[in-house]
Amino acid sequence: MVWALVALPASAALAASASSEEAPALAEIVVTAQKRSESLQAVPLSITALDAGSLERLGATGFEDYAGHIPNLSFSQGSSTVFGGLYVAIRGVYGADTTGFYVDDTPVPESMNPHLTDIARIEVLRGPQGTLFGARSMGGTVRIITNQPDLSSWSGEVHTTASATAHGRGNYAADGVVNMPVIQDVAALRFTAFSQFDSGIFDRASGTQSALPAGTTAPPFAQHDHVNGASQEGAQLSGAVRLLDGGLTLKPRIAVQHNHLDGLPYADSDPRNFTQVRLFDLGEPAAEDWQHYSLSAELPLAQGDIVSSSAVVRHSANMSEDYSEAAVLLFGIPPTPALMRYHETLRRFAHETRFSSRFAGPVQLTAGVFYSDSRSQRQFPQDSIAGLDAFFGGALGSDVVFDYRTTTAIRETAVFGEATVELTKRLKAILGARWFNNKVDFAGTESGAAVSPGQFAGQESDRKVTPKVSLQYAAAPEKQLYVTAAQGFRIGGVNTFSNSLCAGDLAAARLTPEQAQTFKSDSLWSYEIGAKTSWLQHRLTVNSAAFDIEWSNVQQAIALPSCGFSIDVNAGKARSRGAELELDAALTTGLTATLGFGYTDTKITDNGGLPSIRTGQGLQQIPRWTASAAVDYNFQLLGHRTFVHGDIGYTGSSLSANNDAVMPRLRRSYDLLNLRSGMTFGPAELGIFVENVGNKRANLSDTPPLALELPGRPRILTNRPRTIGLEARVLF
């Protein structure tokens, strides 16, 4: 199957070789997917790597800007919080903590989504990466590699954009970087800062939902336009110091980011709807802050390199949500302003020390130890409705609807190793394993009119070894085959929800409150065959892979519609099968093209006895088809280097995270086209861009609310409408 995927495009390219004789070879991309520097084409993994030039042409500033260009990658917002809810799926492996996220050598929460400034490349590794990257890399790993300080020369860049969005207003962005040698060839600093504002596209209007009781009204208010403006600001400072005559290099780094939303960015019922109809003109602001502190040490030895990295991530987020309509349904009260507040914090420490060999013989080794300690808190701090107690004749004792606080602690310890053995000049074997011990402790309290006061606590722990076996065969120069069998693993956890408020939903799902409080670990086996090939003196690369994933004890989210929560449960078994194909071609001098295709067929093979999950249905949020294409043309115009870029990404339809077995919601397929062009004038570059040329509105996710979803009004996370802008870049 793999050679069949390779043969067709390769044959077509060979037939066209006469027209590409003058095309230069494609630039080599070096990756560190196996925690050592290697050519992308030499690594026996299915990898998509986007270098700095690719990210610049895409205009990428966040995860959603490049995600649509990665075969068999999909994403959604899986939780009720506007910050912290990013769920990323690779090859159909969907859910919280199934995809590992790294900034350089340190793991970060997948939802952190750092602003992409001064990035060397992004690597997306498909398939379980548990041996080298741990339990959160069950389906794959996304790695953001930053530019490191240059010890020898000063340099810098300033970049600005100004744009306008359909149904919005003006947007702006500015970022800059400066590299400063402090002691020539010994110490340097690199400083980056950015600021971005995106205008709101949703309007809040006065009105009454049809789901409310007849006669429900509230005093009208004037329409409030563009309520969801968003801003980002941040900076990072990194350093590099060579000590011991260059034998030891220390690299400290500090990165901070602040995000603010004037209002929640959700469409009501349909992604094409720009109006949020509400009883009251209540603001729904949200804010997020995170800090990332890291220190790495690199010590080269005669037999290999020792790398040690430590990092602390601090994250906090606040949001507010209007649940006035839900309060009418829950309590039968007259329309009254009701605003639910949510706050969360996270502190995570992670450390890894590893050795990567440079042995003279046929065996190479990467081995190390890992430790992580995370502490998080979530709370709904005394959400109240004025006059609620009086409405019930003082029987409640206060106006507090819901007061909820929970603390979770996760400790992870691991030892890992991966050895590459050269069996013959053409055949290599890779053997790897990771032993880890994980423990989750949680405790919480709840009170208020919507629940029965109470406390809860518990623990979930796992200890396991995950193996990996791979064979790599060099069939011809610049053409290799590989086969891999690897196990992926995800730790269990806890559900933070109201036991008393959700009792009816739990009974309908055939779960007791005790069963729903925790969920166990799940694991999968992935079987993959792939090919990495280069043709026409490296003017064409064709990489392909096919896979079969067998998933047991699957952690799946199920909705508890009456109480507004969702929980994770273990729901039997699933399988995912599919393939990827990626082509990069230098067609003629100055003209390059890339194509990517992904196919994933998922199926629940055993629903674990849960009525809300149907055996035979596909996994949530997983499109069957993904595809992308990009074309770049560089030429001279009036004596200046000029470029034209176009890219398009396609995402197929999929089931939403709504678990109604009778009427599951469907996310429709969508495609997004972007264009970019510019010209250089010495160290300066001026450009124009159009994002979402077709003005498409995509359902990126059905997002559950903090409170109760009003019948007939799902909240939909959607992309931004057509945006047209100018940009300028100056290098110095």
User: What is the DSSP code string of 694-705?
Assistant: T----EEEEPPP
Model confidence at 505: pLDDT above 90 = no
Q: What is the mean pLDDT of residues 293-297?
A: 97
Q: Which residues pair with 587 in a beta bridge?
A: none
Residue-level pLDDT at 660: 57
Please give the structure tokens belonging to residue 407: 């603390």
pLDDT in tens, 401-415: 989 899 999 999 999
CA distance 163 to 435: 50
Residue 368 scores a pLDDT above 80: yes
Average pLDDT over residues 583-592: 96
Reply yes or no on whether the pLDDT at 497 is more than 70. Answer: no
How far is residue 492 from each of residues 461, 518, 604, measured CA to CA in Å? 7, 8, 20
**CA gyration radius for the chain?**
26
Closest CA to 277 of 199, 201, 210: 210
Predicted pLDDT of residue 101: 92
Q: pLDDT tens across 108-133, in order?
A: 887 778 899 999 999 999 999 989 99
Mean pLDDT, all residues of the chain: 90
631 SS3 class: strand
Which domains can be identified in the chain, with CATH numbers? 2-175+191-220+250-731 (2.40.170.20)
- The Cα 341–Cα 403 span in angstroms is 10
Distance CA 521, CA 253 (A): 34
Average pLDDT over residues 448-454: 80
- With vertex at residue 459, the alpha carbon angle to CA 453 and CA 462, rounded to the nearest 5 degrees, is 155
Which stretches does DSSP call E strand in 327-362?
Answer: 339-357
The residues facing 425 across adjacent strands are none
First to last CA, the chain: 50
Q: How far apart are CA 698 and CA 696, in angstroms?
A: 6
Strand ranges across the sheet with 119-126: 46-51, 119-126, 140-146, 99-103, 106-107
Residue 639 burial (C-beta neighbours within 10 Å; 0-12, 13-18, 19+): exposed
Q: Helix (H, G, I), strand (E, B), or coil: what is residue 326?
A: helix
* Interatomic CA distance for residues 511 and 659, integer angstroms: 15
Cα–chain-centroid distance for residue 147?
21
Distance of CA 287 to the CA centre of its chain: 19
Which residue is associated with the tokens 């990332």?
292
| Count of CA atoms in the C-beta half-sphere (13 A) of 334 | 7
Would you state the structure tokens that stand for residue 340, as one six-digit string?
Answer: 């639910």
Q: How many CB atoms lie within 10 A of CB 53?
A: 11
Whether 318 and 341 have beta carbons less than 8 Å apart is answered as: yes
Q: How far, in Å, CA of 341 to CA of 204, rounded?
A: 19
**How many Cβ atoms from other residues are within 10 Å of residue 154's Cβ?**
11
pLDDT higher than 90, residue 491: no
Cα dihedral 417/422/423/428 (nearest 10): 70
- Confidence at 150, pLDDT banded by 50, 70, 90: very high
Beta strands in 423-453 (DSSP E): 427-447
Does residue 337 sit in helix, strand or coil? coil
Residue with tokens 């990658």: 73
Helix (H) or strand (E) holding 101: strand 99-103
Average pLDDT (297-301) is: 95
82-113 b/e (C-beta count within 10 Å ≥ 16 → b): bbbbbbbbbbbbbbbbbbbbbbbbbbbbbbbb
Task: Show the CA angle centred on residue 164, arms to residues 162 and 166, nearest 5°.
Answer: 160
pLDDT at 498 over 70: no
Q: How confident is the model at residue 6 (pLDDT cuts 50, 70, 90)?
A: very low
Residue pLDDT, tens place only, 170-211: 999 999 999 999 999 999 999 999 999 999 999 999 999 888
Tokens for 301? 């030895």
Residues in the chain: 732
Give the pLDDT band (50/70/90) at residue 258: very high
CB 397 within 8 A of CB 389: yes
pLDDT recorded at residue 659: 52
State how far the Cα of 394 lies from the Cα of 387, in Å rounded to an integer.
10
248-261/230-243 β-pairing: antiparallel
Q: Give residue 78's pLDDT band: very low, low, confident or very high (50, 70, 90).
A: low
- Cα 578 to Cα 70, 90, 532: the distances in Å are 14, 11, 17
Q: How far apart are CA 58 and CA 583, in angstroms?
A: 17
DSSP 534-560: EETTTTEEEEEEEEEEEEES-EEEEEE
Question: pLDDT digit string (tens) for 196-255?
Answer: 999 999 999 999 988 888 888 899 999 999 999 999 999 999 999 999 887 899 999 999
Contact status, residue 611 vs residue 510, Cβ threshold 8 Å: yes
CA distances in angstroms from 206 to 220, 282, 538, 591, listed in the order given: 5, 11, 61, 53
Question: pLDDT band at residue 420, thresholds of 50, 70 and 90?
Answer: very high
The strand pair at 275-278 and 140-146 is best described as unpaired
pLDDT tens sequence across 261-278: 999 999 998 999 999 999
Specify the amino acid at residue 351. H
Task: Report the C-alpha gap between 199 and 263 in whole angstroms.
Answer: 11
Residue 7, pLDDT > 50, answer no
Is 251 within 8 Å of 204 (Cβ atoms)?
A: no
pLDDT at 456: 80
What's the average model confidence in pLDDT over 509-533? 88
């299915």: which residue's tokens? 46
pLDDT confidence tier of residue 96, bands split at 50, 70 and 90 = confident
717, 83 contact by CB (below 8 A): no
Query: What is the Cα–Cα distance from 165 to 169, expressed in whole angstroms?
Result: 6
168: its two tokens: 């919005």
- The 3-state DSSP class for residue 529 equals strand
Contact between residue 317 and residue 272 where contact means Cβ atoms under 8 Å apart: no
Among residues 113, 223, 230, the alpha carbon closest in space to that of 165 is found at: 230
DSSP structure string for 373-419: EEEEEEEEEEEE-TTHHHHTTT-SSSSEEEEEEEEEEEEEEEEEEEE
Highest mean pLDDT among 299-303, 442-446, 451-455, 511-515: 299-303
The full DSSP string for 567-609 is: EEEE--EEEEEEEEEEEEEEEETTEEEEEEEEEEEEEEEE-TT
If pLDDT is split at 50, 70 and 90, which confidence band does 662 have?
Answer: low
CA atoms within 13 A on the CB side of 109: 24
Token output for 493? 């956890």
Residue 3: per-residue pLDDT: 41
C-alpha to C-alpha distance for 561 and 660, rounded to whole angstroms: 10
Mean pLDDT (whole number) for 701-715: 83
pLDDT digits (tens, 9 = 90+) for 559-580: 776 666 778 888 789 999 999 9
As a whole number of angstroms, the distance between CA 630 and CA 645 comes to: 7
Is residue 12's pLDDT more than 70?
no
Residue 5 — pLDDT band, cuts 50, 70, 90? very low
Q: Indicate whether 490 pLDDT > 90.
A: no
Q: Exposed, middle or buried: residue 266 (CB in 10 Å: 0-12, 13-18, 19+)?
A: buried
Residue 118 region, left (φ>0) first, then alpha (ψ -120 to 50), else beta?
left
Q: Which of 475-479, 552-556, 624-628 has the lowest mean pLDDT?
A: 552-556
Which DSSP helix (H) or strand (E) runs through 458?
Answer: strand 454-476
pLDDT for the residue numbered 235:
97
